[in-house]
Amino acid sequence: MGGLVGFTGVGGGSLMTPILILLFGIHPETAVGTDLLYASFTNTAGSATHGFNGTIDWKVVGRLALGSVPTTALTVLLLYYLGIHSTATQAVITRVLAVALFLAAIFLFVRKPLMRRLEERNYVLPEERVKRLTTLTGAVLGVLVTLSSVGAGAIGVTALVLLYPSMPARRIVGSDVAHAVPLTLLAGLGHSILGTVNYGMLASLLAGSLPAIVIASVAAARASDTVVRVALGIILLLVCAKFWFFH
């Protein structure tokens, strides 16, 4: 699984949560909770690297967290009161996961053309509106990621591209990764309290991820970025259809 993440460059939720559900037969809520804690570890490592390289805009991270932390906590409380293991809650998680995968796939397709279009038009929003929309983006991600573990990567980066078109790509990615640390950690701890984390699976994921990510990252450097993004987008759309129509 770490190899898949390293090869595609997309956050673990888009790939690992469907794999845990479809291939390993893990219940959706447990797959989400396990992947969130896993992502908190991997994002911490990535954030440390970006921080060392100076590719994090902490103001942007703070604006995102201002929206995501409260909605993450509220979503965990809602799952507690609804009953995390109830049939209705499992159905909601599955449907939200399908929607999140669909959005992640679409954003993978449009991200680069969108960046080119924004550069050509010198697209700039008023600063105050950017601040409000960044916090709103964080709030939406808090709900989406807590319910599905998907969105912090593909959706978060695309939103930042729209809001900060003049910001260098590395700084956008670094800021998104840094924001994913408190988001996935808080959501993962919430799921842990709810009893929806498979710690054996989590240990296995962490043990295998680091060497696999290094090897796969080397392989990804030799592959066409467009081919990788399009292939992954198609896979996510197929998985989305599986969850929405056949699960």
What is the pTM for the complete model shown?
A: 0.84
Residue 199: what pLDDT? Answer: 94
Residue 12: what pLDDT? Answer: 60
Q: In angstroms, rounded to a whole number, what is the distance separating the alpha carbons of residues 71 and 144? A: 9
The domain limits of the chain are 2-246
**pLDDT by 10s per residue, the chain, length 247:** 544 444 444 556 677 788 888 888 888 899 999 999 988 888 887 788 788 888 899 999 999 999 999 999 999 999 999 898 888 888 889 889 888 888 888 877 777 777 777 666 666 778 899 999 999 999 999 999 999 988 887 788 888 888 998 888 788 888 988 999 999 999 999 999 999 999 999 998 888 765 655 555 445 445 555 666 676 677 777 777 777 765 5
Q: In angstroms, rounded to a whole number, what is the distance separating the alpha carbons of residues 206 and 12? A: 12
Q: In angstroms, rounded to a whole number, what is the distance separating the alpha carbons of residues 133 and 160? A: 10
Q: In angstroms, rounded to a whole number, what is the distance separating the alpha carbons of residues 231 and 1? A: 17
User: What burial class does residue 128 get, using C-beta atoms within 10 Å of its C-beta: 0-12 exposed, 13-18 middle, 19+ buried?
Assistant: exposed
Q: What are the DSSP calls for 79-92, one per residue?
A: HHHH-TTSHHHHHH
Please enumerate, as own/partner, the contacts of 210-216 that have beta carbons within 8 Å and a separation of 24 or more: 210/2, 211/2, 212/1, 212/2, 212/3, 212/6, 213/2, 213/3, 213/5, 213/6, 213/42, 214/6, 215/3, 215/6, 216/2, 216/3, 216/4, 216/5, 216/6, 216/7
Q: What are phi and psi of 96, to 5 degrees?
A: -65, -40
Q: What is the pLDDT of residues 69-80, one digit of tens each?
A: 999 999 999 999
Distance set, CA 229 to CA 88, 190, 211, 234 (Å): 34, 32, 22, 9
Longest dimension (CA), the chain: 50
